[in-house]
Structure 1
Amino acid sequence: MTPLRKAAELLLEHAKKGSRILLVSHQQADPDGVGSALVLSEVLGRMGARTEVVLPEGMNKLSQLLLERYGREVSTSIHLQPDLVVMVDASSFDHLGKVGEEVRGKPILLVDHHLEVEGMREGVEVSWVDEEATSSAEMILRLVKELGETLSPQQAQLLLVGILTDTAGLRLARNSTLEAVCELIRYGADYRQALEALKLPEDRSRRIAMLKAAQRMEIRTLGDYVVVFSELSAFEADAASVLLRLGADLSFVGSEEKGEFRISGRATPELCESTGLHLGALMQETGRFFGGSGGGHPGAASSTGKGTLKEVKRFLLSQLQRILPGT
């Protein structure tokens, strides 16, 4: 039986019994995590389950605007005692923040498209991890079909926005991604409206942060590649992407507070394809080394742990010198 079928069978069993199902996603959840959890929650509710979507560590600004646009709400604390927990778009308990310890040990279904975290398969009842999927939204679409259910136009819209978010507006799409987009459009999703939903209003603090990231940037060359490091107290992921657009092949932007750090990394598709670099694996290793967690995709990942950014930079450079050719 495939992992997809195992996931569907588990959900069918619980929905038939009217079970209480808790759906959670990662800290500062993006539209892919939020939309995927919401749509699956609504489908399972229609099938007879009692569901709740909880994001105790909040969501990013784009997700907040998405919920306002489509009239959806999520909870920040758990109200039901779940018979089953569904982790969506989160590869480890650490990525759930404080709720991670609350759900550990309960029956869990893991649905994720990031690099699989070592040991997670043993900690859950069913693990469906598909690193070939470019978003969790694609996986939820397949799961809904496997359950024999359909989507409303607005549910399809939520999943389409999730796909566009995680594929940088389809620039990182695969053929299967485009097939999923076409299917969502047939369900009633509107591509132009989805693009509009991805537009953030002008934010002065964000613009200033991007300029500070560029101002504080430290440039290193490793062989033929330009690697940059910078530091901010917020918007790290956005800044890492901006630094790529300025010309870096690989960028890292981090913050540090009370002996702990968080850092986001971005790499160009060309660098990943030519060198085999997988930032998700590198950040997973970084988190493990510094007593925290990490993970992500080949070209976009993050890590947290205990230590200084200076120590993290030294560690990353040593790893990159081992990975990148000609360094």
Structure 2
Amino acid sequence: MSKELSLQETGALLLAAEKIVLCTHVSPDGDTLGSTLGLARFLLQQGKQVTVFCDDKINDSLGFIPGMELVQRPVAGTKLAADVLVVIDASSFDRIGIVADVVEYKELLNIDHHISNDRFAEYLYLDPKAAAVGEVMVDLFQAMGWSMDKETATCFFTAINTDCGSFRFANTTPKTMRKAADLLECGVEPNFISESLEVRSRKTVELLGKVLPSLTFEAEGRIAYLTITNDLYDADANTDSFVSYPRSIEGVDVAIMFKAVEPAVTRVSMRSSKVDVSQVAVHFGGGGHIRAAGCTIYAPVEEAREQLLAELRKQL
């Protein structure tokens, strides 16, 4: 069981360490990357030895985030000693890939906002009411009196913006808007961030055209899903937004995207307007939020789809 820290205790733990490894979760999104890179920039400015790990491919659309050049992919079989390993925006330890095997750490800190967090870390700062870990980072910096330059603020604004759907999702609160406004005071250009996030490669748009015909409805139209089969899967295409298409259909309570990344590995993304999809994700070892969650099912996509739909029907 984790020891839950205050913001001040979290900041003190970070400042007390010299060798720090920060890591994102696999299938990295704007929140985990923006939050990690913003914190990494600050710690480097304090003279800390900082390594940033991400055990997955990063979509090109996120390449504009300041500090992206710091991100390394861990190499299996290597070892890196650290005073503290900081896991950012991950609710379970398996969400960091082989980073868990590569880093030899003295202390393990998890900074998160997922209600499904399984408290795997020795130390934990968790705010399930926060729209994004980017919002938590702003809280941390303000509580510690740490200054933010334009680039660090851009990292955190990107984190918040992506996890609350450009302030459209139900997790957006008055506090979320206030923290975003604080970041604008640091010189953040929201138009630049929005335009950068909206850019799609030709490969991604062409893949969307091939995937949309797979749209299928279940439970009298309350469930709608898309499927990316093994023959369609392209690691270079940014498919994060695909689930928004079934989500926008009238009468759909739960939208799902099944992505066959390997013959027996299926990644699942779920969005909901009424159903607690985090419970479904947790059943398969994943996690997330009540209205947005995901998991990886180690089965062929057809089998994984049947398993997940069966569990989802129980929630309905």
Q: TM-score range by the shorter chain?
A: 0.7 to 0.9
1:234-269 Cα shifts (integer Å, max 9, x gaps): 5553221122224433222213333222111122xx
**Alpha-carbon separation, structure 1, partners of 2:62 and 2:49:** 23
Structure with more contact order per residue of length (Cα contacts < 8 Å, sep ≥ 6): 2
Give 1:171's match in structure 2, choosing from 168, 173, 179.
168
Which region of structure 1 is more displaced relative to structure 2, 251-260 or 70-79? Answer: 70-79
Alignment correspondent of 2:257? 253
1:123-154 Cα shifts (integer Å, max 9, x gaps): 42211121111111111111122222110012
Question: Are residues 1:320 and 2:316 paired?
Answer: no
The answer to whether the Cα contact below 8 Å between 1:114 and 1:296 also exists between their aligned partners in 2 is yes
**Alpha-carbon separation, structure 2, partners of 1:312 and 1:104:** 34
**Contiguous gaps of at least 5 residues in structure 2:** none
**Contiguous gaps of at least 5 residues in structure 1:** 288-292
Alignment correspondent of 2:155? 158
Give 1:229's match in structure 2, choosing from 220, 225, 231.
225
* Superposition deviation, residue 42 in structure 1: 1.7
* Superposition deviation, residue 105 in structure 1: 6.5
Question: Are residues 1:95 and 2:95 paired?
Answer: yes
**Alpha-carbon separation, structure 2, partners of 1:229 and 1:191:** 31
The answer to whether the Cα contact below 8 Å between 1:57 and 1:96 also exists between their aligned partners in 2 is no
1:3-22 Cα shifts (integer Å, max 9, x gaps): 323312211322xxxx1001
1:253-286 Cα shifts (integer Å, max 9, x gaps): 213333222111122xxx32xxxx222221111x
The answer to whether the Cα contact below 8 Å between 1:295 and 1:302 also exists between their aligned partners in 2 is yes
The answer to whether the Cα contact below 8 Å between 1:114 and 1:280 also exists between their aligned partners in 2 is no
* Superposition deviation, residue 215 in structure 1: 0.6
**What's the TM-score once normalised by structure 1's chain length?**
0.83
**Alpha-carbon separation, structure 2, partners of 1:117 and 1:91:** 4
- The amino acid of 1:90's aligned partner reads A
1:145-179 Cα shifts (integer Å, max 9, x gaps): 22221100121122112111111111122111001
**What is the alpha-carbon root mean square deviation over aligned residues?**
2.3
Alignment correspondent of 1:148? 145
The answer to whether the Cα contact below 8 Å between 2:298 and 2:304 also exists between their aligned partners in 1 is no
Q: State the secondary structure of the residue aligned to 1:82.
A: strand
Alignment correspondent of 1:7? 10
Give 1:279's match in structure 2, choosing from 273, 277, 280.
277
**Alpha-carbon separation, structure 2, partners of 1:281 and 1:104:** 32
Residues 177-326 of structure 1 aligned to structure 2 (within 5 Å):
177-201=176-200, 203-222=201-220, 226-232=222-228, 233-234=233-234, 235-247=238-250, 248-256=252-260, 257-267=262-272, 271-272=273-274, 277-285=275-283, 287=284, 293-324=285-316
Q: State the secondary structure of the residue aligned to 2:72.
A: coil
**Alpha-carbon separation, structure 2, partners of 1:245 and 1:9:** 44
**What's the TM-score once normalised by structure 2's chain length?**
0.86
The answer to whether the Cα contact below 8 Å between 2:74 and 2:98 also exists between their aligned partners in 1 is no
1:192-211 Cα shifts (integer Å, max 9, x gaps): 2222232214x232223222
Answer 1 or 2: which has greater helix percent.
1
Q: What number of residue pairs does the alignment pair up?
A: 299
**Alpha-carbon separation, structure 2, partners of 1:237 and 1:301:** 12
Which region of structure 1 is more displaced relative to structure 2, 176-185 or 33-42? Answer: 33-42
Q: State the secondary structure of the residue aligned to 1:151.
A: coil
**Alpha-carbon separation, structure 1, partners of 2:203 and 2:73:** 25
Alignment correspondent of 1:290? none
